Structure 1
């Protein structure tokens, strides 16, 4: 009967390297430079021979340097969340940190529980894509000395850097493109905006921008549990404005997917009825004749969030990024060619 291999210990590494336990601890901690090059080499060789890996959790609990960054995303199923997490993880690795990710599933109660859990793990910083308004919890975290950076969404009364898309510019670019293409009536489709400052801002920018351009415009909020209501609202908007060139602008990737399905159910020809989405998705180029999108620089956004965090963790060694709001890239396809 096989047994689970036993983890080697720091004492065994010290014995094999002919060093003290303190020296080995310094080697795997923040004081490696205090050891002579030859001693560092002996410890490294001993650790490699024994397959030794330091217990980072135990080190964090003892010394307060867990080398962990916590991240909460509002919806891990959203392609935007996946793409942003990739950028965050890349930057964490660059700084020698590991990433703990929690999915709140757009549930404020889960968000509170995850924040408490990450605090228990003594993460050195938090990147938060808020699902609700966790003001009290974030105030507690910040008061305890843990740096916080907000991703994509603001939280009222929380003084923290917010890194994300330039939503004013994004909506303006979308409306400018649709206007240039000759569309006169635009339906804006969004998930419910109550729990997301980003959705609220994009909706406000849409209404202002459409009015400035004298566009016929309306808003449709998705009802996930009732596709029929959304289908009827879409059909009615197009029927009511059949004397105009109509287009649909989707506020994010989830809305783009939902509306694309409804276009297919209604047999609406893409282009004749315009379709455009904020967020580039892998499949947008595969639906003939291709769906026009505004692509977010998700890697840049995620990496910048970590750069901001590291500036707070080690402000004298890491400069604060100068750009926190990023412009999208317009990807023109056949869905906005009338």
Structure 2
């Protein structure tokens, strides 16, 4: 039996008008408790209102939902270009949301996509485990995870080989004669790229017969903490190099080093992760590990569209893309 708006209203204990306002994100005069009751009822009853007149006829809206975890990171602009180009080529519109790495915000966006009857979703998962992923997977709803792996959920996943990227970074520093290499990263919090970059760093050090000092693995959240941790390194003997695992973090490290009166690469080498438009304009120009951002976006969109159009019955898989080393002068290269 088809679920109607009356069923939702009855289950939530509100009027049909209130349900309609919540569905249209008109939250004026509606309490958070009422809003949550309505959204919960919608999810439990699997209510799917008609979002567009075209959807009434074809059951297809030609809209793809995209949730990214941090639009502040310039890496995502290139990923977005790849997704947009594929969507335009195949005649799909794109609905973009930014979770700001908030699980609650991510859940709200995905529920909103469901209410608008998007044909599929690409998501760069926020920190934590979103229960909606399991629901989408169980219903075989077209879903692609981007740049982060989600354990226990059956879905196509497009990521970069982060272990290889870290190994390439460390091995480049070793070729330049660096032996005391510190790694800086944001709190891992179960996020697969961060964990894999630590693993690649450990493997490269161990394979080259070098110790992995716990004090050289620095977990930081901002520039102030970078400065504190670099200060601690100064007290015990400055390392030869810092391997930064994030483009925004690299800027924070460079600022912290400058404020401490340290020169790159004269006093210490810095190697970054994620090629950006500004990396070559830094002083000195930044040596970095490039992720194929545009390709990541393109591949994820093509994979999703093939699922949505039933053009593939291939098994779900994790697609692993290759990183590359961009050599400039921040590590003392000549």
TM range (shorter): 0.7 to 0.9
Please give the alpha-carbon distance, in whole angstroms, between the structure 1 residues aligned to 2:158 and 2:201.
21
- Greater relative contact order (Cα < 8 A, sep 6+): 2
Change (3 A) 1:58 1:133: farther
Find the partner of 1:214 among 206, 209, 218: 209
4+ runs deviating over 6 angstroms: 317-323
Secondary structure, aligned partner of 2:283: coil
Residue 257 of structure 1: aligned partner = 251
Contact conserved, 1:71 with 1:99, CA < 8 A, in 2?
A: yes
Is 1:107 equivalent to 2:102 in the alignment? Answer: yes
Q: What value does the CA root-mean-square deviation take over the aligned residues?
A: 2.3
C-alpha deviation, 1:213, in angstroms: 2.1
Residue 263 of structure 2: aligned partner = 269
Is 1:77 equivalent to 2:72 in the alignment? Answer: yes
TM-score, L = length of structure 1: 0.77
C-alpha deviation, 1:241, in angstroms: 2.8
C-alpha deviation, 1:143, in angstroms: 3.1
Please give the alpha-carbon distance, in whole angstroms, between the structure 2 residues aligned to 1:196 and 1:58.
40
Residue 167 of structure 1: aligned partner = 162
Contact conserved, 2:51 with 2:117, CA < 8 A, in 1?
A: no
Contact conserved, 1:119 with 1:141, CA < 8 A, in 2?
A: no
Residue 136 of structure 1: aligned partner = 131
Residue 10 of structure 1: aligned partner = none
Secondary structure, aligned partner of 2:295: helix
C-alpha deviation, 1:287, in angstroms: 1.8
Residue 34 of structure 1: aligned partner = none
Is 1:235 equivalent to 2:214 in the alignment? Answer: no
Please give the alpha-carbon distance, in whole angstroms, between the structure 1 residues aligned to 2:85 and 2:315.
18
Contact conserved, 2:155 with 2:317, CA < 8 A, in 1?
A: no
Find the partner of 2:306 among 308, 311, 318: 311
Contact conserved, 1:238 with 1:246, CA < 8 A, in 2?
A: no
Change (3 A) 1:120 1:155: same
Please give the alpha-carbon distance, in whole angstroms, between the structure 1 residues aligned to 2:200 and 2:312.
38
TM-score, L = length of structure 2: 0.78
Secondary structure, aligned partner of 2:256: helix
Residue 299 of structure 1: aligned partner = 294
- Alignment gaps of 5+ in structure 1: 1-54
Number of residue-to-residue matches in the alignment: 280
C-alpha deviation, 1:256, in angstroms: 0.9
Larger Cα Rg: Structure 1 or Structure 2?
A: 1
